[in-house]
Amino acid sequence: MNRFIEKLTQAQRKNNSLICVGLDSDLDRIPAHLKGSGDPVLEFNKAIINATRNICCAYKPNLAFYEALGLRGLETLKKTIRHVPEEIPVILDAKRGDIGNTARKYAEGIFAELGGDAVTLSPYLGFDSIAPFLEYKDKFAYVLAVTSNKSATDFQYLDCDGKPLYLHVVEKVRSWNQDENLGLVVGASQPQQIREIRQAAPELPFLIPGVGAQGGDLGKAVTYGTADGGIITINVSRGVIFASDGEDFAEKAAEALTQFNNRTNVVG
Amino acid sequence: MNRFIEKLTQAQRKNNSLICVGLDSDLDRIPAHLKGSGDPVLEFNKAIINATRNICCAYKPNLAFYEALGLRGLETLKKTIRHVPEEIPVILDAKRGDIGNTARKYAEGIFAELGGDAVTLSPYLGFDSIAPFLEYKDKFAYVLAVTSNKSATDFQYLDCDGKPLYLHVVEKVRSWNQDENLGLVVGASQPQQIREIRQAAPELPFLIPGVGAQGGDLGKAVTYGTADGGIITINVSRGVIFASDGEDFAEKAAEALTQFNNRTNVVG
């Protein structure tokens, strides 16, 4: 079994949680009392991680929130990754996608330089934009199939040769998955797609965003995603980390996460 | 006229060049004699810029080559951007694409924090992944339509409701272009696509990669791309910056660029 998936599923069992905490730690939304610290985002992330490390299965920082802060943000990201306990995997949400010699450099940046266990990738450039990531056999890549945003329908749902574009992505990802280090991003905003894609790809792990602030149906996401033993992780970002903007933010994040866990586990 | 396009077309006239120099400055390919310096990539980029600043129309660093070097790489990128003369625009090749609140942060990172004049974006997530970039009215975004890599055919050429996916991208980009700060990436490996897309979108500026190391037909790219007054810039990366790996690398880069200019201008 792929090392990331092993780590993920072990954390899911140990912590009794399918929830991945999205560290979309927007500086503008960090509680005011942290703003005076030398590195407010790092302080925020550390407190969130300390409060949730035994009740989640993964962390997923989205690189945009760190890149927006420049060099300092990248430093914060590296320190955040180092603060995550060894037994909890880190998914770097980067949605990269570029031609082969360039994708090789992105893979180096994400896996070797930053030290993520997994990454998210965009499929638009096809196989050679994904291949360099697959050479890291212990690591893992989730390719975007269906995203959870409103404009996902602009292209992903187009009927291409008799089926939606996202199902072409699913088929290709299956065919590329020789080393079992590929999965899919399947947004929860349209639960029907989770069912349809699980039927099309029973063996692929899913990363499911869109159940928190974006309002997707958590119960259906779990039921459809885990059908026939399917491996999933459900990402919640704002719905957990910004549960409170007061001094109790970490405690409230843990409470919000526990509620997501309870709702998930009843269903599962 | 959009400020980036104004700067680009002025540089094209002044320097008599349609060529954008791709600063894909892979540390592994930097000439050996620079490796001893404190920041070999910065020394390399500065020498390339000094040798080519009067004979090109833009610079395009691809972020992957800098991110692979971590914090140090980002520092190098910022210093490189600062070294580009004010009258030459900088296109940051990032191929980003994420949901709205995240795309807003990427736009901040690219335009405010790094200081690029233009960016490349991936279309897979649709309009709300592009919109936050459009709010920077003086800046510019090239959306991937057809890329120059072999696997471009995996998805971009799929027949969707009677026409290839890339033509859906072209149509959508036209409809999103209220502030005239959008263009298209149109790879040169299949010159027919340049002709077809120019006919479909006469008003959109094209960024055309794929004529150097990737072997696309430069003459056809120019003829088709500039039809009916179309605005283009042709990117060459490895074909210019790695023209020599000796101490004469900058001089040879300028020579290679001059040859591209001559071939372009005869055709144009």
Distance CA A67, CA A64 (A): 5
- Show the domain range for A163: 3-261
Distance from CA of B108 to the nearest CA of A (A): 5
Average pLDDT (B208-223) is 85
Q: Would you say residue A266 has pLDDT above 80?
A: no
Distance CA B203, CA B206 (A): 9
Average pLDDT (B6-34) is 97
Q: Which residues of B touch A101 (CB under 8 A)?
A: 24, 26
Residue A20 lies in a domain: yes
Q: Would you say residue B267 has pLDDT above 80?
A: no
Q: Which residues of A touch B126 (CB under 8 A)?
A: 149-156
Please name the residue that has the structure tokens 């060459």.
B236
Residue A166's φ and ψ, nearest 5 degrees, are -60, -30
pLDDT digits (tens, 9 = 90+) for B79-137: 999 999 999 999 999 999 999 999 999 999 999 999 999 999 999 999 999 999 999 99
* ipTM for the complex shown: 0.96
Distance from CA of B268 to the nearest CA of A (A): 28
Distance CA B166, CA B162 (A): 12
Residue A39 lies in a domain: yes
The residue in chain A having the minimum alpha-carbon distance to the alpha carbon of residue B167 is A155
State whether residue B184 is helix, strand or coil. strand
Contact assessment for residue A110 and residue A92, using Cβ atoms and an 8 Å cutoff: yes
Sign of CA dihedral A257, A258, A262, A265: positive
Contact yes or no for A68 and B123 at CB 8 A:
no
pLDDT digits (tens, 9 = 90+) for A71-126: 999 999 999 999 999 999 999 999 999 999 999 999 999 999 999 999 999 999 99
Angle at B200 between CA B196 and CA B206, to 5 degrees: 75
Contact yes or no for A147 and B154 at CB 8 A:
no
What is the amino acid identity at position A69?
Answer: L
Instruction: Say whether A78 is catalytic.
Output: no
pLDDT digits (tens, 9 = 90+) for B143-168: 999 999 999 999 999 999 999 999 99
Question: Which residue, among A81, A83, A86, has the nearest Cα to A110 in the 3D structure?
Answer: A81
Residue A267 lies in a domain: no
| Average pLDDT over all residues of chain B | 96
The residue in chain B having the minimum alpha-carbon distance to the alpha carbon of residue A210 is B99
Please name the residue that has the structure tokens 């590296």.
A78
For residue B68, the number of C-alpha atoms closer than 13 Å in the C-beta half-sphere is 18
Contact yes or no for B98 and A64 at CB 8 A:
yes
Distance from CA of B71 to the nearest CA of A (A): 6
The residue in chain B having the minimum alpha-carbon distance to the alpha carbon of residue A72 is B71
Q: Would you say residue A217 has pLDDT above 90?
A: no
Interface test with A, best of B26, B74, B98 (most A CBs within 10 A): B98
* CATH code at position B224: 3.20.20.70
Interface test with B, best of A62, A101, A189 (most B CBs within 10 A): A101
Sign of CA dihedral B71, B72, B75, B77: negative
B153 Cβ partners below 8 Å, 6+ apart? A126
Average pLDDT (B15-36) is 96
For residue B92, the number of C-alpha atoms closer than 13 Å in the C-beta half-sphere is 28
Contact assessment for residue A208 and residue A188, using Cβ atoms and an 8 Å cutoff: yes
Q: Which of A75, A112, A122 sits opposite B122 (nearest CB)?
A: A122
Distance CA B80, CA B131 (A): 28
Q: Which of A70, A95, A96 sits opposite B113 (nearest CB)?
A: A70
Q: Which of B114, B151, B172 sits opposite A127 (nearest CB)?
A: B151
Given B95, B150, B172, B252, the catalytic residue: B95
Number of residues that this document lists for chain B: 268
Looking at the structure of chain A, the number of domains it has is: 1
Q: Which two tokens stand for residue B12?
A: 């094209």
The residue in chain A having the minimum alpha-carbon distance to the alpha carbon of residue B153 is A126
Residue A21 lies in a domain: yes
Sheet holding A232-236, edge to edge: A58-61, A19-23, A232-236, A206-208, A182-186, A140-146, A118-121, A91-96
Distance CA A195, CA A216 (A): 14
Contact yes or no for A125 and B114 at CB 8 A:
no
Given A60, A95, A139, A252, the catalytic residue: A95
Contact yes or no for B108 and A68 at CB 8 A:
yes
Distance CA A222, CA A230 (A): 10
Residue A50 lies in a domain: yes
Q: How far apart, in Å, are the Cα atoms of B226 and each of A88, B223, B265?
A: 53, 6, 12
pLDDT at B90: 98
Distance from CA of B122 to the nearest CA of A (A): 7
Interface test with B, best of A113, A125, A161, A170 (most B CBs within 10 A): A125
pLDDT digits (tens, 9 = 90+) for A146-201: 999 999 999 999 999 999 999 999 999 999 999 999 999 999 988 899 999 999 99
Question: Which residue, among B200, B195, B198, B264, has the nearest Cα to B235 in the 3D structure?
Answer: B264
Distance from CA of A148 to the nearest CA of B (A): 8
Q: Which of A151, A161, A169 sits opposite B125 (nearest CB)?
A: A151
Q: Which residues of A touch B102 (CB under 8 A)?
A: 24, 62, 64-65
Contact yes or no for A75 and B74 at CB 8 A:
no
Helix-then-strand count for chain B, H and E: 11, 10
What is the amino acid identity at position B39?
Answer: D
Q: Which residues of B touch A112 (CB under 8 A)?
A: 68
Q: Which two tokens stand for residue B250?
A: 């900058």
Distance CA A221, CA B8 (A): 48
Distance from CA of A48 to the nearest CA of B (A): 20
Residue A268 lies in a domain: no
Buried b (16+ CB within 10 A) or exposed e, B161-196: eeebbbbbbbebbeebbeeebbbbbbbbbbbebbbb
